[in-house]
């Protein structure tokens, strides 16, 4: 079971990237849950648990990361994609079926402002 995901963002672009994630992940219910002054922030779906997604300030990003967030339906995948692109992300795969993974895999992919590949997927499973 996955506990949390963290990425490092160049300090000079930190606010831009955090604002992008807040806009892009709003359709999934993610909001700012915790601030680590001078170091980073934690985003998640509720204040009752630890932040699921943590972004830390760094000098420079060494390598791009792939992050996949689970959605509860295809509409949320499409809303993520729309908001993420509107907020300045770059298309890395429009929402659609990815049957090569399994028959009910529906996902969209966007590159965040510093090149991380962000996916939102609905597995078509009962929730």
- pLDDT tens figures, 78-111: 999 999 999 999 999 999 999 998 999 999 999 9
Tell me what the mean pLDDT of segment 21-41 comes to: 92
The per-residue pLDDT for range 46-61, each reduced to its tens digit, is 876 667 888 888 877 5
Give the side-chain half-sphere CA count within 13 A for 96: 6
Number of independent structural domains in the chain: 1
CATH number of residue 59's parent domain? 3.10.180.10
Indicate the burial class of 37 (C-beta count within 10 angstroms; 0-12, 13-18, 19 or more): exposed
Tell me what the mean pLDDT of segment 6-20 comes to: 92
- The whole-chain average pLDDT of the chain stands at 89
Tell me the pTM: 0.80
Residue 19's domain comprises 5-122
pLDDT given for residue 92 in this prediction: 96
Residue 40 lies in a domain: yes
Q: Residues with Cβ < 8 Å from 15, sequence gap 6 or more?
A: none
Do the beta carbons of residue 119 and residue 109 sit within 8 Å?
A: yes
Residue 127 lies in a domain: no
pLDDT given for residue 1 in this prediction: 35
Tell me what the mean pLDDT of segment 3-16 comes to: 87
Length of the chain: 127
Residues above pLDDT 90, as percent of the chain: 61
């Amino acid at each position: 079971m996955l506990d949390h995901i963290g990425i490092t963002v160049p300090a000079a672009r930190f606010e831009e990237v955090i604002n992008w994630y807040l806009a892009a992940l709003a359709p999934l219910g993610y909001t700012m849950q915790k601030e680590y002054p001078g170091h980073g922030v934690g985003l998640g779906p509720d204040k009752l648990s630890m932040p699921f997604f943590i972004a830390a300030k760094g000098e420079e990003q060494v390598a791009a990361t792939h992050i996949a967030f689970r959605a509860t339906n295809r509409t949320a995948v499409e809303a993520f994609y729309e908001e993420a692109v509107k907020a300045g992300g770059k298309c890395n795969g429009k929402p659609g079926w990815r049957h090569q993974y399994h028959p009910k895999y529906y996902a969209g992919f966007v590159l965040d402002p510093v090149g991380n590949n962000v996916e939102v997927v609905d597995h078509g499973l009962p929730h």
